Structure 1
Amino acid sequence: MPDARLIKKYPNRRLYDTTLSSYITLNEVRELVMNETPFKVVDRQTGEDITRSILLQIIMEQESGGQPLFSADVLAQFIRNYSLSTHQGFTEFMEHSMSTFKAQQKAVSEQMHKVLKGTPLDTWLKMSEQNMQMWNQVQRNILKSLSQKSIERND
């Protein structure tokens, strides 16, 4: 991964973002994923790449709260497809399916923007989107500030 942010996981389970030179939370790693920011997580002591395990940890947190994305049947299928005979085919299928889903979502969004362009609803949607972006930034700043204060108190 060229230009990927390096995050080190310390034995105390804290994550250190070497780009920001500060500790970050699992939720902030999730934000990196959501913003499509490339990153790599390594174990501080061994240097082992543990990015996958951190991503799985994020999925576990998301699945345990609110409305889960995967049913028990789907998770059971995942486990069954770890057999050597179907592993590669299943992986390729999942990657292709996710890529197709993302492309379809983008196409629908673009079509909706074309249909609504210039209408009063378009103006409201744009304003709502800007408000949501500002609100998300405010939330990130608050969480970062609280995280920094917590770190300062613990040091």
Structure 2
Amino acid sequence: MAETEKPLLIKRYASRRLYNTETSDYVTLEDIAGFIRAGREVQIIDLKSGDDLTRQYLLQIIAEHESKGDNVLPLAVLTDLVRSYTTEVQSVVPQFLAASFEMLR
């Protein structure tokens, strides 16, 4: 696997600082968003526990952009996502979203 095909590994320290293992420097959420926009896959792990925190941080990036007025997700979509967590629809939502974004790409 080529180096650029590997996910960019970001380690979260106990201080909650995020460390880019490729460049050996600290990064922000906006830096991580920039890596993703540039086409990189990222993986964020907790240094102490080894837990994968990628999903948590990606959701945080989305929430911050939405709260700043960068409204990509219509209110109806957000409402339906919340509903999907409490219904049988939950099982098909991930596949539907993945297929939808694949078509956009």
Candidates 46, 70, 78, aligned match of 2:73: 70
Could you list the runs of 5+ residues in structure 2 that have no partner in the other structure?
none
Note the alpha carbon deviations across 1:3-50, whole angstroms, 9 max, x for none. 222111112221001111110111110011101112210011111000
Which residue number in structure 2 is paired with residue 20 of structure 1?
23
Which residue number in structure 2 is paired with residue 88 of structure 1?
91
- The TM-score with structure 2 as length reference comes to 0.87
Which residue number in structure 1 is paired with residue 60 of structure 2?
57
How many equivalent residue pairs? 102
1:68, CA displacement in angstroms? 1.1
Select the structure that is richer in helix.
1
Structure 1 segments (4+ residues) deviating >2 Å: none
1:71, CA displacement in angstroms? 2.8
Which residue number in structure 2 is paired with residue 114 of structure 1?
none
Note the alpha carbon deviations across 1:70-108, whole angstroms, 9 max, x for none. 233221100111135211211111111111122xxxxxx
Q: Distance in 2 between matches of 1:27 and 1:13?
A: 15
Candidates 39, 42, 48, aligned match of 1:39: 42
Q: Distance in 2 between matches of 1:5 and 1:64?
A: 26
Q: What root-mean-square deviation, in Å, do the aligned CA atoms of Structure 1 and Structure 2 show?
A: 1.7
Identity of aligned residues (%): 33
Which residue number in structure 2 is paired with residue 130 of structure 1?
none
The structure showing larger relative contact order (alpha-carbon pairs under 8 Å, at least 6 residues apart) is 2
SS at structure 2 position matched to 1:40: strand
Specify whether residues 77 and 31 from structure 1 end up closer, same or farther in structure 2 by C-alpha distance, changes over 3 A only. Answer: same
SS at structure 1 position matched to 2:22: coil
Select the structure that is richer in strand.
2
Specify whether residues 67 and 88 from structure 1 end up closer, same or farther in structure 2 by C-alpha distance, changes over 3 A only. Answer: same
Q: Which amino acid aligns with 1:77?
A: D
Q: Which amino acid aligns with 1:85?
A: E
